[in-house]
Structure 1
Amino acid sequence: MNEREPSRRPAAATLSRVLDLIDPGILDVVVAPRGTEVPVRGVTLYDLGDEDADGTTLAGMILLAVGVDPRGHGAVEAVRAARRAGASALVIRRGADPVDAAVVEAAEHGDTAVLTRHPGRGWTDVLGLLRNACAQSSPSELATVDSLRPGDLSGLANTVADLVGGAITIEDPQSRVLAYSRMDHEPDPMRRVTILNQQVPRWRVAELRESGFFRTLWSTDDVVRLPADDRYAERLAIAVRDGGEVLGSLWAAADGHPLAPDATAALRTAARAAVPHLVHHETRGREAARRREAAVHTLLTGGAGAEQAARTVGVRPDRPHTVTVVEAYEHPATEFASDAPTPAEQRVLDVLALQAAALRPGCVTARAGRRLYVLMPAGETHTDPARDLVATARSVPGTVVFAGVGPMAQRPAELPGAREDAEIVVRVLRERAVATGVPASASALSSDVVSEAALVRLLDRVEPLWPMAGPVHAMVEHDRAHGSEYSASVGAYLSAFGDTVAAAHGLSVHPNTLRYRLRRARELFGVDLDDPTGRLLADIGLRLAHRARG
């Protein structure tokens, strides 16, 4: 961006509204001859040698007097130049002493307000804060966009998709995916791979660059059409600009049916309405995302700060929510690592976070290692968000994903319990995968695994109390030391409910061999499977031993 190129918007924001959106202490009003309800069009850097101070380019702007000494003659000249240009306000650096009386006098004889910048905040920081505040203060040209929270790119994508009658992807200038609309139909191959990789494939970017498509897109304010071919559906694209800076682009693709007849006009309007959201994303989006993620963690763990966290992420106390927990593993064997996620696993979680945001407005996510937590408002109809996320993950080869949904939380205080239940569902799915020896992505609701979840909870509570010596422990240690199969034989017998023939078949041994092993287990270690209590203790002990190995 040329930082001296002004950000132009409809004259709807006011200086008062802009200042209300900036934390106190960063900017102070020294003098405002016309008050602070004056209209503001935008913000730009300005120096005394600027020849554009002609009352049109800078009229209604907030000017940042970078490099001007607040106590020198240059400050007085800056105030006079800003007045001649018709600027709404001039910002100068705050010094150790009060603003010079000559500066105040010069301002009082004009129409331009004078503000000071806190010395602890740099000009670049202040420029970003003011641009963001100006964007938030200006009304959008789409009534449906006004209800979106600033920076809600997923909500924006869904809103624009409804207008153009197609699928919307919002990209940054480097062709990375910022958000995309919900998928009502199977996407074409290019949209699918773009979403999964969170960016347009490099070969496709090179293809569009060489064809001159990007040159046209970045040089016009209008919609650019990419006709359908034998590979991909028709696409419309438009750059989103804030003054001279390209913030990103909106892409509309035919989604199971042709785009709406007025899609081009709708996309033009949408590009203008998208400006404040992309400005917000650029200047505050990352920090806000970190705050929201921390708030989600607070909500899901409970305790102090939960009420404030609910307000931060927009969780209403009168609306039920679901908690989905997702774990991702790259190329798993029969055991699943608990170390830090690999880049491939991170990418899958990034994709699923985007997908979750596209599923329903108001959805928020948080990360913890290889886990993704999804907090989603409950819909009017029953849906299984975990199933949708797993379906997306299956498109990523070499990765296994487990997703579990806890019971419906009717109020925020129930969210920690719902999160714990969802985590247990994931553990059940992981243990199933280990038992089968053929890991595959899976999802489940807590109501689908009631018995297995109850067993996991039981073992969690019994494990700290389980003695490190006893019949089962002695049998397991003997197998480890000598390579014997007593533990496997007892486990197979218990799993077959005492059916020796079936258990022997599962072990690929003769029934008499199994009977011999069971008899020796009783003789050597005291594991008596004829006694109900002995069977119960053997089952619990073997499960705990298996957990310890994992």
Structure 2
Amino acid sequence: MTQVNLTDRRPVEAAPARKDRCPVVRLVPAVDDGPAPPRLADLLLGPGRGVLDVLAAPHGIDGPLGGVTLWDPLAGRPCGRDDLLLVAAPSAGTALAGQAVAEAARGGACAVVLKGVEDVAAVRDRARRAGVTVLVAADRVCWDDLCVLARSLVPAARLGQRPAAPAPDLSPLAEATAAAVGGPVEIVDAELRTLAHAGLGHPVDPLRERSVLDRRAPAAAREWFTGSGAAQLLLRTRTAQQVLFPGAVPRTMAPVVVRDAVAGYVIAAEGGGPLCDTAPDVLTEAAAVVAARMAGAPDPATPGPGDLADELLRGALTGTGSLDALGGPGGWTLVALRPAGDRPDPGPAPSAGACVRMVFPGAALTRTDGATVVLLPGRRGRDAAQRDAETVRNRLSALHGVRFVACVSDRVDPGHDADDDIAALAGPLCRAASVLAGRGRPSVASLSDLRPWAVLAELGEIARDRPGLFDGALDASLEHDPDRRAEVLASLLAWFDAGRDVSEAARRLRVHRNTLRYRLQRIEARSGISLDDPVQRFTVELQVRLLALGAG
């Protein structure tokens, strides 16, 4: 078996092939000073985003990705350590999935990739007990494409691209490639339509000028490209080749191969002089990155699997996630959003995550307890956090056509307990957002400001299951005069909110202060409560506030 060193692209002599293992594509560079081996997180958060979904990750997703093995359960051959084990079957029954998990545990695979899992709960339980990460691939993605996605990681790192945060377009990749080869670069599709370009000050010839201005190569150049045999040569060799368009400076073109077909090209033209000696290798590596992005791009008309960051957030909210696997942005802020007032919950919107990530790359979005919860990466102070939460609120309000309110947490710093901190914040944050939604104003508030009401909301949840907590003199008074129930509760609540200032409370109720004073005296007389007694007053206030939240 010949091994290809992705650092310098030269064939190197491999160790004698082991007869006890399946064919494998190694990703780790063979030289000591090469780029660091890619991580599984680089694949999942980068080119595999929207293609691979996490079923179980008991140890997170930060382990090294050493290779890709197509596994045949009938051959009985073990996988290699740190390999991505692809179970190349259209569906994975419980028995087959169990075999794959056991093989991954024995061989130390970084993850198992399945399709069509029949019993999700059983496979997840088996994977967690074995300590094996299990991923599910989208049905629309073929196994060859998954190999392309994985193989693109080392070239991407060499070209300055961060797989964990892919650019929304190919322009940064074009710029990095142009700088590496020493000439202007274009990235085009199979019909020579321009997808991205970068000149970086290099001289350009008329062919490139027309291609950039018209967003496509001239018709004469397209006809020559197909008629001369150059396109067929690139398809046959699948390597970078020099192409001499008539009346243009020499070009080196690398084909972008997706699903066994050429989906585009990465083209470098000679600028002020010849391209660098390593230009063919650089262009080939850039083509691998473009192929991965094309193969990994979800079909806009078909909802794909959940985004990995969303899945990790969903796990973090139950205390089982691995937040550190998302990388080290220096901190996180959690935002919970609900529709204001009594507006109905619009439910999840498939484009909500993409809508938020357009402004905050790397953000995660999920739903829990009827609230939309967003995890924003990066360090931000209190004011910046509220401004960013307002941005998220405005975007989701426009998307759903419903006014949202947002409750913002304090910053969560990265560390071993980060996912536990997020899990501890999620419940109070959603309750505080619910309180804020009932008030309607302000639109954005911090959890620290709303925490007392979040505590009350949690007590209200307990009280709903224990109605006996509302038994007592106040309850008897309300039952005695049901027609005045709303008036009694409103009067007491206004009095407590005003710090027991009768004049201020009467102003808020828009009644005369003597009227409010009379109401309070009547409540004391009918219930036998003394509002001057601190303990009785505390009990009554707690009951009133819980009743105002709808707990009883």
Q: TM-score, normalised by structure 2?
A: 0.50
- Which residue identity is paired with 2:294? L
CA distance in 1, matches of 2:479, 2:256: 69
Secondary structure at the aligned position of 1:21 is classed as strand
Distance 1:419 1:515 in 2: 46
TM-superposed CA distance for 1:399, in Å, is: 3.1
Question: RMSD across aligned C-alpha pairs, in angstroms?
Answer: 5.3
Instruction: Answer yes or no: is the 8 Å Cα contact 1:390–1:402 preserved in 2.
Output: yes
Query: What is the CA distance between 1:525 and its match in structure 2?
Result: 1.8
Match of 1:511 in 2: 513
Please list, as runs of the form range in 1=range in 2, the aligned pairs for 1:29-428 lying within 5 A after superposition: 128-138=142-152, 140=155, 143-144=158-159, 146-149=161-164, 155-157=166-168, 160=171, 219-223=191-195, 242=257, 273-282=289-298, 289=306, 293-302=310-319, 306=321, 309-310=322-323, 314-315=325-326, 321-329=331-339, 332=340, 334-335=341-342, 341-342=345-346, 345-347=347-349, 350-351=351-352, 353-358=353-358, 362-368=362-368, 370-379=370-379, 383-384=384-385, 385-396=388-399, 397-428=401-432
Q: Which amino acid aligns with 1:416?
A: D
Aligned: 1:445 with 2:438:
no
CA distance in 2, matches of 1:223, 1:21: 30
What is the aligned length? 354
Q: What is the CA-CA distance between 1:488 and the residue it aligns to? A: 1.2
Contact in 1 for aligned 2:371/2:430 (Cα 8 Å): no
Distance (Å, rounded) in 1 between the aligned partners of 2:289 and 2:163: 11
Aligned to 1:470: 472
Distance 1:302 1:276, change over 3 A: same
Q: State the 1:545 CA deviation.
A: 1.1
Alignment check: 8 A CA contact 2:407 2:445 kept: yes
CA change 1:458–1:140 in 2 (3 A) is same
Over 3 Å counting, the alpha-carbon distance change for 1:237 and 1:416 in structure 2 is: farther
- Residue 499 of structure 2 aligns to a residue whose secondary structure is coil
Cα deviation 1:186-223 (Å, max 9, x = unaligned): xxxxxxxxxxxxxxxxxxxxxxxxxxxxxx98843324
- For residues 236 and 498 of structure 1, what CA distance do their matches in structure 2 show? 74
Q: CA deviation at 1:129?
A: 0.7
Question: Aligned equivalents of 1:471 and 1:238: distance in 2?
Answer: 82
Cα separation, 2, equivalents of 1:279 and 1:219: 17
Q: Could you say what secondary structure the match of 2:332 adopts?
A: strand
Return the letter of the residue paired with 1:327.
L
Q: CA deviation at 1:247?
A: 8.0
Q: What is the aligned counterpart of 2:24 among 16, 22, 29?
A: 16
Distance 1:527 1:431, change over 3 A: farther
In the alignment, residue 390 of structure 2 is paired with which amino acid? R
Q: Which residue of 2 aligns with 1:191?
A: none
Contact 1:479 1:485 in 2 (8 A): no
- Measure, in 2, the Cα distance between the counterparts of 1:145 and 1:370: 41
Percent of residue pairs identical: 18
Deviation at 1:128, TM superposition (A): 0.7
What is the CA–CA distance in structure 2 between the aligned matches of 1:354 and 1:441, rounded to whole Å?
26
Q: Classify 1:242/1:464 alpha carbon distance in 2 versus 1 (closer, same or farther; 3 Å).
A: same
Question: 1:526: Cα distance to partner?
Answer: 2.5
Supply the distance in 2 between the matched residues of 1:358 and 1:450 (Cα, whole angstroms). Answer: 30
What secondary structure, in the 3-state scheme, does the structure 1 residue paired with 2:471 have?
coil
Contact 1:365 1:373 in 2 (8 A): yes
SS in 2 for 1:467: helix
Task: Rate the CA distance shift 1:506–1:461 in 2: closer, same or farther, 3 A.
Answer: same
Q: State the alpha-carbon separation in 2 of the partners of residues 336 and 460 from structure 1.
A: 21
Deviation at 1:133, TM superposition (A): 0.5
- Correspondence for 2:204: none
Give the SS at the match of 2:379. Answer: coil
SS across alignment from 1:301 = coil
Check the 8 A contact 1:328/1:371 in 2, yes or no.
yes
The farther-off stretch of 11-20 and 370-379 is 11-20
One-letter amino acid matched to 2:438: V
**Amino acid aligned to 1:520:** R
Superposed CA deviations along residues 128-162 of structure 1, whole A, max 9, x for unmatched, are: 1112213432464784554314xx5xx32288469
Q: Structure 1 CA distance, aligned partners of 2:332 and 2:342?
A: 29
Q: Offset at 1:420?
A: 3.5
- Quote the Cα distance in structure 2 between the aligned partners of 1:13 and 1:360: 40
Flag the 1:393–1:319 CA change in 2: closer, same or farther, 3 A.
closer
Report Cα offsets for 1:7-37 as digits up to 9, x if no partner.
Answer: xxxx96997317942452279799xxxxxxx
Shift of 1:433: 4.1
8 Å CA contact retained: 2:405, 2:437: no
Shift of 1:499: 2.3
Kindly indicate whether the alpha-carbon contact (under 8 Å) linking 1:409 and 1:415 is maintained by their aligned counterparts in 2.
no
In structure 2, the residue corresponding to 1:297 is in which secondary structure?
Answer: helix
